[in-house]
Amino acid sequence: MTELQKQSTPDRTAPDGPAQDGPAQEEAVRPSDPAADPEADPEAVRFALPAALVGAAAVVAVGSLWGLWYLPFLSGLAIGTATAVRALRARTAVLAGTAAALAGWGAPLVWRAASGEAVAGTARTVAALAGLPALASLVIAVTLLLGLLQALLGVWLGRTATAALRPAR
Partner 1 sequence: MPRRIRTATHAVAAAVVSGLVLALLALGIGPVPALGTALVPGAGVWDSAAGAELPHTETLALAGLDAPVTVAFDDNGVPTVKAASDTDLFQAQGYLHARFRLAQLDLERRAGRGRLAELNGPASLESDRFELQMGLLRTAEAEWAATPPDSPAGRALTGYTRGVNAWISELRHNGQWPAIFSLTGVYPSDWTPVDSLVIQEVLTQSMDFTSTPLDYAIFRDSFGEERTMDWFPVHAPNDQRPYDPGPYRDLGIAPLPANVNTAGPDGRTAANRSQPRPAPVAPTGGSDPAGEATAARTLLDTIRALPATQIHTFPDSNAWAANGPAVAGGNAMLAGDPHLPMTLPSYWYQIALSSPETNVTGASMAGMPGVLIGRNADISWSLTDAQNQSTVFYSEQTSPDHPGQYYWNNAWHPMERVEYTIPVRGGDAEHFAVDLTVHGPVLTRAGQTTSVDWMGNIPSPDLAVLLSVNKARDYQEFRTALADWHAPTLNFAYADGGGNIGVVAAGYFPLTKGGNPWFPLPGTGEYDVTGAIPYDATPQAYNPPNHVVATANQRPVSADYPYYIGTSLNAFDNGYRANRIYQFLESHPAMTAADFTALQNDVTDYLATVIVPHLKEALAGTTLDARQQAALDVLDRWDHTMRPGVAGGPIWWTFWNDYLETTFQPWWDQAKVPVDRDRRYLRVSSALPSLDENLEAWTLRDPANPTFTSPGGPARTATDAMRTAFAQAVSELSQDLGNDPATWTWDRVHSRQIPSLTDVDALGYGPKPAEGDRWTVNAADGGMTSTFGPSWRMVVDWKAPGTATAQAVYPGGQSENPASPWYRTFVPYWWEGRNLPLLMAADQPASTKVWTLRPGA
Site string for partner 1, 21-60 (x = CB under 8 A): ---xxxx---------------------------------
Interface with partner 1, residue 67, by CB under 8 A: yes
* Shortest distance, position 72 Cβ to partner 1, whole Å: 9
Interface with partner 1, residue 83, by CB under 8 A: no
Interface with partner 1, residue 97, by CB under 8 A: no
Whichever of 100 and 127 has its CB closer to partner 1, that residue is 127
Give the DSSP per-residue string, the chain: --HHHHHHS--TTSPSSB--SSS---B----SSGGG-GGG-HHHHHHHHHHHHHHHHHHHHHHHHTT-TTHHHHHHHHHHHHHHHTT--HHHHHHHHHHHHHHHHHHHHHHHHHTT--HHHHHHHHHHHTTS---HHHHHHHHHHHHHHHHHHHHHHHHHHHHHHSPP-
* Shortest distance, position 124 Cβ to partner 1, whole Å: 7
Whichever of 35 and 168 has its CB closer to partner 1, that residue is 168
Whichever of 85 and 163 has its CB closer to partner 1, that residue is 163
Amino acid, single-letter form, for residue 131: G
Angle 113-114-118 from CA coordinates, rounded to 5° = 30
| Sites for partner 1 among residues 113-142 (CB under 8 A) | 116-122, 124-131, 133-134, 139, 142
In angstroms, how far apart are the furthest CA atoms of the chain?
A: 58
Interface with partner 1, residue 148, by CB under 8 A: no
- Positions in the binding site for partner 1 (CB under 8 A): 16, 18, 24-27, 61-70, 73, 105-109, 112, 116-122, 124-131, 133-134, 139, 142-143, 146-147, 149-150, 153-154, 156-157, 160-161, 163-165, 168
